[in-house]
Amino acid sequence: MANLTLLSRRKIVKVALETVAKGTAAVTTTYILAFDAEMKPAGDWIQRQPGSKFLGNIAGMPGNLGATCTFRAELRGNGASANFDAGVAACLQGCGLKLATATYTPDSDIADQQTISIDLYEDGLLKQMIGAMGTVRFSGVFGQQMFAEFEFSGVWQAPTDVALATASYAATISPTLKSTTFTCPAGFTPFTANVGVDLQNTVSAVEDISKAGGISHYVITERDPIITLDSQADLVATNSVYAAWLAGTEVAFSLLVGGTSNNKFTIAAPKLQYREVSPGDRDGKLLHEVTGQCNASSGDDELTIVCS
């Protein structure tokens, strides 16, 4: 067979929740409109350099068969009901966010954590990973759509040659970061150009020596959700960001993006506490650049995402 030239942009991502058991492959039926998708092995390489007459290697071997998959997806509704596009919804659950009545909240119960299977078609080459969980960062720049930046860890499966799938996506256009309803007292104004919400999950492999890859699936063992903001600076008389930081004040944060039913969402943190305040610059304008940690109010409620 003649060598083929595979094109890097001809990529399609499919995902599925694993409903039989964690680490049991699910048939991926849901497409996700993904940007910059990449999947690669991430297991250990066992290097063998025994004592001998010569300096160098003898044949090594792969260790555990872990893998990583990263991509970005627009935060957009499905256009038919109060929830995100189905692919995004599945991936958010794979990042430890429990879904109940169009509301996503962090989940600390491993029994409830939802693993996913991911297929990445690369112009005829199919890469797969199962038992995956990950972390996500939401990022938005004024006037542009908000993205979910996913990073998954899973169990690597041997690639195969499969014809590129014909993808089907919801036609919904993602809302942009303008005409928002923004609430963040103690020093912040709507003159904000960049918003970031990062779950900062710690993802760990569940080792299983009975498995061919040495790994059963992945779980989330820690999280440290933070929100990053920039805002035009102001005088102390009208801006209390440094006072709030010094006092350890907890403030309510809320950001509503979108105005159309079935294509809008609210990200909220009831007790955001500033832990770093730095000066910044945006086109000659002095900024406050703040990192805040999302504190729990009564359990797994430090962050919520509500679709409507």
Model confidence over 14-37: pLDDT tens digits?
999 999 999 999 999 999 999 999
DSSP class of residue 172 equals: P
Whether 216 contacts 66, CB under 8 Å = no
Is 188 contained in some domain? Answer: yes
Is 56 contained in some domain? Answer: no
What is the rounded CA–CA span in Å between residue 68 and residue 260?
A: 35
- Between the ranges 31-40, 170-179, 232-241, where is the mean pLDDT highest? 31-40
Is 117 contained in some domain? Answer: yes
What integer pLDDT is reported at residue 67 of this predicted model?
Answer: 97
- Would you say the C-alpha torsion 61, 151, 201, 300 has a positive or negative sign? negative
Distance of CA 286 to the CA centre of its chain: 30
- Would you say the C-alpha torsion 57, 59, 63, 67 has a positive or negative sign? positive
72's CB contacts (< 8 A; 6+ apart) are: 34, 35, 36, 147, 148, 149, 150
- The structure tokens listed for 41 are 């092995």
Q: What is the pLDDT of residues 132-156, one digit of tens each?
A: 999 999 999 999 999 999 999 999 9
Q: Is the pLDDT of residue 1 over 50?
A: no
* Domains: count for the chain: 1
Rounded average pLDDT over 43-68: 92
What integer pLDDT is reported at residue 189 of this predicted model?
Answer: 65
Report pTM: 0.94
Q: What is the pLDDT of residues 193-215, one digit of tens each?
A: 899 999 999 999 999 999 989 99
Q: Average pLDDT of the chain?
A: 93
Domain assignment of residue 32, given as a range: 11-42+64-163+171-307
- For the chain, give the percent of residues with pLDDT over 70: 96
Spell out where the chain has E strands. 11-17, 30-32, 34-41, 45-48, 58-62, 66-74, 97-100, 103-106, 116-122, 125-141, 147-161, 181-183, 194-198, 202-207, 215-222, 226-232, 250-257, 265-282, 285-295, 304-307
Is 48 contained in some domain? Answer: no
Look at residue 233 and give its three-state secondary structure.
coil
Q: What is the pLDDT of residues 216-235, one digit of tens each?
A: 999 999 999 999 998 888 77
Is 6 contained in some domain? Answer: no
Is 240 contained in some domain? Answer: yes
Is 129 contained in some domain? Answer: yes
What integer pLDDT is reported at residue 221 of this predicted model?
Answer: 98
**Which of 228, 242, 240, 303 is closest to 271 using CA atoms?**
303
Is 200 contained in some domain? Answer: yes
